[in-house]
Amino acid sequence: MVLMNPVISKLTGKLVVLASASPRRLEILTNVGLRFEVVPSWFKETLDKRLFKTPHEYAVETAKQKALEVAKRMPFKHLKTPDIVIGADTVVVSKASYINVFYPSYHSGYYFLYTVLVVFFSQTVDGLILEKPVDKQDAYRMLSRLSGKEHSVFTGVAIILCHEKEDEEIDYQVIDFYEETKVKFADLSDDLLWEYINSGEPMDKAGGYGIQALGGMLVEYVHGDFLNVVGFPLNQFCKKLGLIFSPPGSLTHNSTQTSPQGSPVDTVPPAEPAASSPTHNGPPDSQGQNIPSASTAHNVKQEESGCGEGEVPWTLVNNLSKCSANGEAEPQGISDPAAPDLTSRGTIQMQNVREHETEDGKEKLSKMIELMDGFKASKVLFTASKLRVFDVLRSSKKGELQAEDVAQEIKASIKGTERLLEACVSLGLLQRTGKEYTNTAMSRHFLLSDGPLSLQGYIQHCNELVWPLFTHLETAVREGTNQHEKAFGKTSNLFQDAYYSRHEVKLRFMKAMHSIAKVSGRDVATAFDLSKYKTACDLGGCTGAMAYEFAKAHPGLSVTMFDLPEVIEMSSHFRPHDADDRVSFVAGDFFKDELPKADVYILARILHDWSDEKVHILLSKIAKACNPGCCVLVSEIFLDEDRKGPSRGLLQALSLTEGRQRSASEYSLLLKSHGFTAAQVKHTHNLLDAILCVTE
């Protein structure tokens, strides 16, 4: 049983996202019954530490950037807007003599925190922060520095609240804080240090140790929140949630701001200093949902926790403490006011539980359900799009309609429409107030047929072409054929035979390419500095959407859009009303015809469609046409080097005919064999990545 924390339960029904891949943070939050998705942040931890006055400011800023990156990526990459994103960053700071005192006071309706920070150390902060060791010697350097001394562990936490506004924009509110815990290492012999280092444990951990596992052996005492050292200050986090979601009296969420110390400045009512917490360093939250402070002095030892060696995994009924299979122990902070005193180590009840009854098991089950239902959700999106539900709602007088009115507009049954609209609400595509349905910000952004970032073209392509293809997946897999062949018969050339032989199919395909290029084109066009180049040629540029993005992004660049004659003859349908005359159109076959001369050759979503053999033919033609010093820009979904993701790329691979998905280094190798060396790779965080290769 998991004790349902009243604060945590406030998050039920909200899309909560943890922007961290740390299994330790995941476990801490899962153990208190929080339901969340894990979307690891792509933010690189490269902030210049010298710019921060204190280590905790650095940790808080890193946490904030990690969380914001995920909050801003999700609406585009995952097509859903989270309600809350949680980011965290833990740093270990070797002994420094500084005093950090906070004096809270209440004045003019605002909550001020006065920080007196007396810094005695002569080193820079940069010199004190110990991050993850880069190798064993580095781990030795860190651990021997910590040996026999007290050090501080700071975890910065950022809670991002995402609010969708009427105008399709998303408002991000940041609440951040940090927790400090002091840890003292015993005097450690070199033998012990090397044995620990050789266990491999230090390598992915800040400061080079993991307190919850073998590293616990190094520790003499811990002052403060133990879980903070593990990687997440659960106690303070729950208090902050309490302030955000269950404020006593007048707290209004919308006015939450971040103070320099990282507390919600204008929403936090006066509070008494937390006298009982000697290492308390954020604003005291004496009214915060009766959440007890984290234990102030844990020195976790196996015999105290009652964990014997070699016990089978089990879950605790009261969740006060947890043992793993190897007998290591971790205190678990639970903040239900009715829960027993956290600091006491009372009787621990255990019970064997079936996998799906654990929190972890429940997560896995909900992931399974999501996968099993995925095709239904896609079809709801396709059908609502095809029936123009989003356009109909937008064009109604008040932007809202009841199911009967929508049914009338889309010429469908009331009963069926009602079910479709309800399903759309559950998927975040629509919202309903009483009987009235309206578009959500996400739908207004991507699903209106005339919106600048409309994905309608691609959605219809998925519905009409990709969906039937995937009904043949099993046979295609069994027989080793491609799905096109099963669905539409053998083709000698995918484009000319399958896509361009019928007008409406060609138009649909072009609309699909156009919509993806509109959404991703700007990020691809601005991925690299191309200011020294004068001319570009977008090979297989389709409607020209990408070419126009390049022209817009690079004022000195003229772009020739090159594609098959069947495409060029229809490209005028897609020309923007303010079309830039630096974009010109040339018809031809890039396997057979001479290519236009250019400084930059753009290959956006071209190479994945072709075998290595065909790619070599195309690249050798580009190399031949190249002016001296020219470059090739390839934009594709880049597979991870271990080919374990991203799933978007691997799922698309299932419907390719002769082509295949490749990683950035595979593209780089192909280009290298034609004299182009990889200069830069850019993961745009949008639908397509990019690599720029220059002539040697």
Q: Is 591 in the site for ligand SAM (CB under 6 A)?
A: yes
Q: Is 512 in the site for ligand SAM (CB under 6 A)?
A: no
DSSP assignment of 235-263 equals: HHHHHHHHHHHS-STT--GGG--B-TTSS
β-pairing, 676-682 with 436-439?
Answer: unpaired
Nearer to ligand SAM, 331 or 540 (CB): 540
Q: Is 140 in the site for ligand SAM (CB under 6 A)?
A: no
The interface with ligand SAM within residues 157-216 (CB under 6 A) comprises none
Q: Which residue is nearest to ligand SAM (CB)?
A: 540
Rounded least distance, CB 117 to ligand SAM, Å:
52
Please say whether the beta carbons of 499 and 509 come within 8 A. Answer: yes
Rounded least distance, CB 620 to ligand SAM, Å:
15
Radius of gyration, alpha carbons of the chain: 29
Q: Distance between CA atoms of 553 and 498, rounded to whole angstroms?
A: 34
Nearer to ligand SAM, 590 or 638 (CB): 590
Nearer to ligand SAM, 515 or 558 (CB): 515
Nearer to ligand SAM, 2 or 690 (CB): 690
DSSP assignment of 423-490 equals: HHHHTTSEEEETTEEEE-HHHHHHTSTTSTT--HHHHHHIIIIIHHHHTTHHHHHHHT--HHHHHH--
Among 280, 388, 461, 605, binds ligand SAM (CB under 6 A): 605
DSSP one-letter code for 335: -
Q: Distance between CA atoms of 586 and 572, rounded to whole angstroms?
A: 12
DSSP one-letter code for 264: B
Question: How many helices and strands in the chain, by DSSP H and E?
Answer: 24, 24
Span interacting with ligand SAM, options 22-30, 321-329, 410-418, 598-606, rule CB under 6 A: 598-606
Among 283, 541, 596, 659, binds ligand SAM (CB under 6 A): 541
Rounded least distance, CB 567 to ligand SAM, Å:
5
Q: Is 222 in the site for ligand SAM (CB under 6 A)?
A: no
Report which of 686, 164, 171 is spatially closest to residue 430, judged by C-alpha positions.
164
DSSP one-letter code for 671: H
Residues near 397 by beta carbon (within 8 Å), at least 6 away in sequence: none
Q: Distance between CA atoms of 149 and 220, rounded to whole angstroms?
A: 10
Rounded least distance, CB 584 to ligand SAM, Å:
15
401 is written with which tokens?
Answer: 């309609």
Q: Is 598 in the site for ligand SAM (CB under 6 A)?
A: no
The terminus-to-terminus CA distance of the chain in angstroms comes to 64
User: Looking at the DSSP assignment, which residues form a beta bridge with residue 563?
Assistant: 587
Q: Distance between CA atoms of 6 and 211, rounded to whole angstroms?
A: 29
Nearer to ligand SAM, 437 or 458 (CB): 458
Residues near 632 by beta carbon (within 8 Å), at least 6 away in sequence: 600, 601, 603, 619, 622, 671, 676, 692, 693
Nearer to ligand SAM, 536 or 564 (CB): 564
DSSP one-letter code for 498: I
Q: Where are the alpha helices (DSSP H) in 249-402?
A: 302-305, 359-386, 389-395
208 is written with which tokens?
Answer: 């080079």
The interface with ligand SAM within residues 487-506 (CB under 6 A) comprises 495
Site string for ligand SAM, 560-589 (x = CB under 6 A): ---xx--x---------------------x
Rounded least distance, CB 429 to ligand SAM, Å:
25
Rounded least distance, CB 374 to ligand SAM, Å:
24
Rounded least distance, CB 594 to ligand SAM, Å:
12
Among 125, 469, 513, 632, binds ligand SAM (CB under 6 A): 513
Nearer to ligand SAM, 24 or 621 (CB): 621
Span interacting with ligand SAM, options 59-67, 197-205, 357-365, 512-520, rule CB under 6 A: 512-520
Catalytic residue numbers? 89
Dihedrals phi, psi of 112, to nearest 5 degrees? -105, 145
DSSP assignment of 157-210 equals: EEEEEEEE-TTS-EEEEEEEEEEEEEEEEPP--HHHHHHHHHTTGGGGSGGG--
Size of the site for ligand SAM (CB under 6 A): 17
Rounded least distance, CB 514 to ligand SAM, Å:
7
Among 540, 544, 596, 659, binds ligand SAM (CB under 6 A): 540
Q: How many CB atoms lie within 10 A of CB 274?
A: 19
Span interacting with ligand SAM, options 198-206, 274-282, 298-306, 603-611, rule CB under 6 A: 603-611
In 588-648 the beta strands, taken as DSSP E runs, fall at 600-604, 631-636
Q: Is 519 in the site for ligand SAM (CB under 6 A)?
A: no
Q: Is 58 in the site for ligand SAM (CB under 6 A)?
A: no
Among 158, 546, 633, 693, binds ligand SAM (CB under 6 A): 546
93: three-class secondary structure by DSSP: strand
Nearer to ligand SAM, 430 or 517 (CB): 517
Rounded least distance, CB 596 to ligand SAM, Å:
12
Nearer to ligand SAM, 192 or 654 (CB): 654
Please name the helix (run of DSSP H) or strand (run of DSSP E) that holds residue 112, with its range, or none. Answer: strand 110-119
Rounded least distance, CB 405 to ligand SAM, Å:
37
Nearer to ligand SAM, 129 or 525 (CB): 525
Report which of 513, 531, 525 is spatially closest to residue 550, judged by C-alpha positions.
525
Among 59, 63, 604, 690, binds ligand SAM (CB under 6 A): 604
Span interacting with ligand SAM, options 131-139, 393-401, 427-435, 601-609, rule CB under 6 A: 601-609
79 to 72, 117, 428: CA distances (angstroms): 11, 44, 10
Nearer to ligand SAM, 130 or 519 (CB): 519
Site string for ligand SAM, 435-464 (x = CB under 6 A): ------------------------------
Rounded least distance, CB 448 to ligand SAM, Å:
20
Span interacting with ligand SAM, options 256-264, 378-386, 450-458, 534-542, rule CB under 6 A: 534-542
Rounded least distance, CB 76 to ligand SAM, Å:
17
Nearer to ligand SAM, 72 or 77 (CB): 77
Residues near 692 by beta carbon (within 8 Å), at least 6 away in sequence: 527, 528, 631, 632, 633, 678, 679, 680, 682
Point out which residues bind ligand SAM (CB under 6 A): 495, 513, 516-517, 540-542, 546, 563-564, 567, 589-591, 604-606
